Amino acid sequence: MKEINFITQNNAKVAELRAKAKQFELTINHISAPYPELQADTLEDVVRYGLAYCQKKFPAPFIIEDSGLFVDTLHGFPGPFSSYVHRTVGNRGLVKLVGEGVPARFESIIGSCYHDFRLFRGQVEGRIVRSRGRSGFGFDPIFEHEGRTFGEMMIDEKNAISHRSEAAELFLKWASTVI
Ligand code: ITT
């Protein structure tokens, strides 16, 4: 069985990736360690910086993942600043700020380090709603996709449509042939 290290402090991301990796001959090892998150305009820049830092500290093959919630009416905010917004105003504050029913999308970039760096991208469209459901993490209860929030979905249901799952599928397909 091939093994890949996933460097993240977010256990829920690991659970989602592991559920996805079951379809492939790959094991995800969790390395729970921090790495500096660059304050940049794009998730791609954050991930490239993180990969370069982690390459000096952790054994390849490894991946990191950065994700964010992008609201069109706010020109993509909070986007790469999602962690900060979640930490400060929280879900209730964000709904107040952007308004209910406003279109938004989640984006995910998985960065892998093997012989070189590669980026894999996924996204999912939805809208911001008042909090519903207790599953998942972060903004899941206020992100609605086709009538249900991510907070109302089991992990496999979220994985059938989510931004992270789309990026993971691309990564896992590549990794299962190359690594
Ligand atoms: P890392 O250690 O992997 O960086 P993190 O939790 O800091 O873990 P991110 O910086 O990628 O993760 O996440 C940015 C914010 O966006 C984070 O605070 C989450 O609340 C939110 N977020 C990202 N993906 C999400 C998802 O699938 N569902 C709900 N919220 C999500």
Direct distance between the N- and C-terminal alpha carbons of the chain, in angstroms, rounded to an integer:
11
Q: Residue 1: is its pLDDT beyond 80? A: no
Contact of 151 with 110, CB cutoff 8 Å: no
Average of pLDDT values for 11-31?
95
pLDDT band at residue 179 using 50, 70 and 90 as cut-offs? confident
Question: Is pTM, for the whole model, over 0.85?
Answer: yes
Contact of 137 with 153, CB cutoff 8 Å: no
Residue the block writes with tokens 């592991």: 18
Q: Write the pLDDT tens digit of every residue in 40-51.
A: 999 999 999 999
CA 57 / ligand 1 centre spacing (Å): 22
CA 179 / ligand 1 centre spacing (Å): 27
For atom 14 of ligand 1, which residue has the closest CA? 83
What are the boundaries of each domain within the chain?
Answer: 2-178
SS (H, E, C) the chain: CEEEEEECCCHHHHHHHHHHHCCCCEEEEEECCCCCCCCCCCHHHHHHHHHHHHHCCCCCCEEEEEEEEEEHHHCCCEHHHHHHHHHHCHHHHHHHHHCCCCEEEEEEEEEEECCCEEEEEEEEEEEECCCCCCCCCCCHHHEEECCEEHHHCCHHHHHCCCHHHHHHHHHHHHHHHHC
In sequence order, what are the residues at sequence separation of 6 or more whose Cβ sits closer than 8 angstroms to the Cβ of residue 90?
Answer: none
Q: Write the pLDDT tens digit of every residue in 87-142.
A: 999 999 999 999 999 999 999 999 999 999 999 999 999 999 999 999 999 999 99
Residues with CB under 6 A from ligand 1: 8-10, 13, 65-69, 82-83, 86, 106, 136-140, 150, 162, 164
Residue the block writes with tokens 């931004």: 163
**Check: CATH 3.40.50.460 for 2-178?**
no
Strand duo 26-31 + 2-7: pairing: parallel
